[in-house]
C-alpha cells in the first residue's frame, strides 16, 4: 500500500496481518482527495484509523496536524511505525482508545479554557468496522463541539448500509460509489 499524492507520494505504508484492518484502497483514497482538494487550515481527525492511510495521506498533501484514533493494539503498532517511517511524529497525535472515548477526550480538550482553534477539526475520516457504528459516531460528532466551521466528514461504508442524510448538525452533501464501497460526505452546519 502506497501514498497516492503529496510530498510522500509513492511511500509505502505497513499494514497489520489478517483481516482485522481493512485499509482504504488507493483508488478510493485518491478519489477522496481529488474531491476534497487542498487540505484545510484546521486539523484532521482519522477515526477507526487502522494503518493511518487517510490521515497520513492528508499530512503528505499538506495538512498541518492529524489526530488518529484506534483501539486495536496490532493496528496501533503499525500506525505508530508508519508515522515514524514518514517522520510525521511532530504533526501527529495517536489516541489509543475506542472511537467514542476518543471523541469524548478530544471534546474535553476542545472546551478547555486554553484550547485554540487547532482543537477543532476541518476534515474527519471514518471507516467503521460495522455498519451500525456510522450513525452512532456521526451523532456523537454532531453532539460535541469538535468541528470547525464548514467541516467535512467523510464516511466510508458498504453501499447496502448507508448512513442517514442528516444527523444533528451534519448534512449529507455528496455520495460516491466505488463498487460495493460508498463514500458519504457530510458538511457541518456549525457557524
| Grid cell 456523537 in the structure block, residue | 140
- What pTM was computed for the model? 0.92
Band (pLDDT 50/70/90 cuts) for residue 135 is confident
In b/e form, how buried is each residue of 36-70, taking b as 16+ CB within 10 angstroms?
beebbebbbbbbbbbbbbbbbbbbbbebebbbbbb
pLDDT at residue 92 in the model = 96
State how far the alpha carbon of 22 is from the alpha carbons of 61, 115, 126, in Å: 22, 34, 12
Nearest to residue 152, comparing CAs of 123, 120, 118?
123
Section 142-150 average pLDDT: 87
Torsion angle (degrees, nearest 10) of CA 157, 160, 164, 165: 90
Confidence class of residue 114 from pLDDT cuts 50, 70 and 90? confident
Residues 86-113 have pLDDT tens digits of 999 999 999 999 999 999 999 988 877 7
pLDDT tens by residue, 8-40: 777 888 887 764 556 678 889 899 999 999 988
Domains and CATH numbers, the chain: 26-188 (3.40.50.150)
Amino acid at each position: 500500500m502506497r501514498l497516492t499524492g503529496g510530498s510522500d507520494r509513492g511511500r509505502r505504508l505497513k499494514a497489520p496481518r489478517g483481516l482485522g484492518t481493512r485499509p482504504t484502497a488507493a483508488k478510493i483514497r485518491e478519489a477522496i482527495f481529488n474531491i476534497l482538494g487542498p487540505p484545510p487550515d484546521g486539523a484532521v481527525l482519522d477515526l477507526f484509523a487502522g494503518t493511518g492511510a487517510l490521515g497520513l495521506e492528508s499530512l503528505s498533501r499538506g495538512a498541518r496536524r492529524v489526530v488518529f484514533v484506534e483501539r486495536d493494539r496490532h493496528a496501533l503498532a503499525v500506525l505508530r511505525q508508519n508515522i515514524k517511517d514518514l517522520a510525521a511524529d511532530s504533526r501527529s497525535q495517536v489516541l489509543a482508545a475506542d472511537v467514542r472515548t476518543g471523541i469524548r477526550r478530544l471534546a474535553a480538550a476542545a472546551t478547555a479554557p486554553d484550547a485554540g482553534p487547532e482543537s477543532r477539526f476541518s476534515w474527519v475520516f471514518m471507516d467503521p468496522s460495522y455498519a451500525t457504528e456510522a450513525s452512532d459516531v456521526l451523532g456523537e460528532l454532531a453532539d460535541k463541539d469538535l468541528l470547525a466551521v464548514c467541516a467535512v466528514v467523510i464516511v466510508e461504508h458498504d453501499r447496502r448500509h448507508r448512513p442517514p442524510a442528516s444527523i444533528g448538525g451534519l448534512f449529507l452533501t455528496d455520495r460516491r460509489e466505488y463498487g460495493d464501497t460508498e463514500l458519504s460526505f457530510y458538511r457541518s452546519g456549525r457557524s
